[in-house]
Structure 1
Amino acid sequence: MTTTTNLTAGLTAAHRERLMRVAREVSFDADTRLFEEGRRADRFWIVRTGTVVLDLRVPGRRAAAVESLGHGELVGWSWYFAPYVWHLGAQAASPVRAWEFDAEIVRAMCARDAEFGRAVAEWVGRVIADRLHASQVRLLDLYAPYGSGSRI
């Protein structure tokens, strides 16, 4: 999937380089939960390899998968806005290698440098818009009488 959530679509080379200085490499086995909806959001990831599935709790049903994320895509945006609580859940659908970022460190970087902070805010904002749209379409497909009508 190629979307505006991809790191290269949201930040200049200088901003990417600055962000990557605080990254650490991590890996997750298939079926590992990265985070749960409603819990504290204190980090985020950019996928290097593998697939992460975002899901949404639906009362009385299993969690609904709303989007799959792959190479170069941001996993998590809830870390950016108080109260720093995950709005979705996430699980590795395959073995995943990713760069992990400490949210507090990145937020402090944003506060110290307005230009960097604005770039990160715009990037995260595009991610939120994409995730909201994907969630709406998926939930309509699952629960509306005629689906979303979308031909995505």
Structure 2
Amino acid sequence: MADLLHEHPFFKGMDESHLDFIAGCGENHIYNAGDYIARENEPADHFYLIRAGQVAVECFVPNYGAICLQTLHDNDIFGWSWLFPPYMWTFDARAVDEVHAIRLDGKCLREKCETDTAMGAELLKRFARIVTQRLQATRMQLMDIYSQQRPPLDPGQ
């Protein structure tokens, strides 16, 4: 498992001893197309490293249905809800096709981060970078959506 973690971009450059420590919380898992990997408002007990396949991150909109917010691919990660109480998913995650993932146990990781605070700080930095990237992507998506719905501003006004 440590070798698989070492190969994943999320863990690039992380101390070998930390990877060995984290590897004890991981397992390989395969999801079939259409399987829900996470469901909104259910316990968030894991985070995932996508080795192969696509995962749709979705939210449910009343009177409309599921909306895909983002599609994640090989070498992406998802799931940081295990980090923050109340440890509940805020979105659905659904396998678009067959997904090979490393599933890391959130409770195990929280306990290890308490034991090794340097490793915990390193994980938080890495997640902060991902959260920032995803917020920027969402911002761009919203700008695209709303720019199509509004007429351009008249510079003379």
Both structures adopt the same fold (TM-score exceeding 0.5): yes
Residues 47-94 of structure 1: CA deviation (Å, up to 9, x unaligned): 111111111233332222122222222121111111111122111011
RMSD value over aligned CA atoms? 2.2
Q: Which amino acid aligns with 2:39?
A: E
The change in CA–CA distance for 1:56 and 1:10 in structure 2 (over 3 A counts) is farther
| Structure 1 residues 30 and 56: CA distance shift in structure 2, 3 A | same
- 8 Å CA contact 1:10–1:123 kept in 2: the answer is no
1:146 matched residue in structure 2: 148
* TM-fit CA distance, 1:140: 4.5
Unaligned runs of 5+ in 1: 148-152
2:47 maps to amino acid: F
Unaligned runs of 5+ in 2: 1-7, 150-157
Partner of 1:39: 42
Distance of aligned partners of 1:131 and 1:71 in 2 relative to their CA distance in 1, 3 Å threshold = same
SS of the equivalent of 2:33 reads coil
**Partner of residue 150, structure 1:** none
Shift of 1:30: 0.6
Q: 1:76 aligns with which of 79, 84, 103?
A: 79
CA distance in 1, matches of 2:43, 2:66: 19
Identical pairs, percent: 26
2-side partners of 1:74 and 1:57: how far apart?
21
Normalization by structure 2: what TM-score? Answer: 0.78
Q: Does 1:94 align with 2:91?
A: no
Larger Cα Rg: Structure 1 or Structure 2? 2
Conserved? CA contact 1:28–1:96, under 8 Å: yes
One-letter amino acid of the counterpart of residue 25, structure 2 = V
Aligned length, in residue pairs = 142
**Residues in 1 aligned to 2:40 and 2:137: alpha-carbon distance in whole angstroms:** 16
Supply the distance in 2 between the matched residues of 1:90 and 1:76 (Cα, whole angstroms): 9
**CA pair 105-71 structure 1, distance change in 2 beyond 3 A:** same
Relative CO higher for 1 or 2, CA cutoff 8 Å, sep ≥ 6? 1
CA separation of 1:9 and 1:87: change in aligned 2, threshold 3 A:
farther
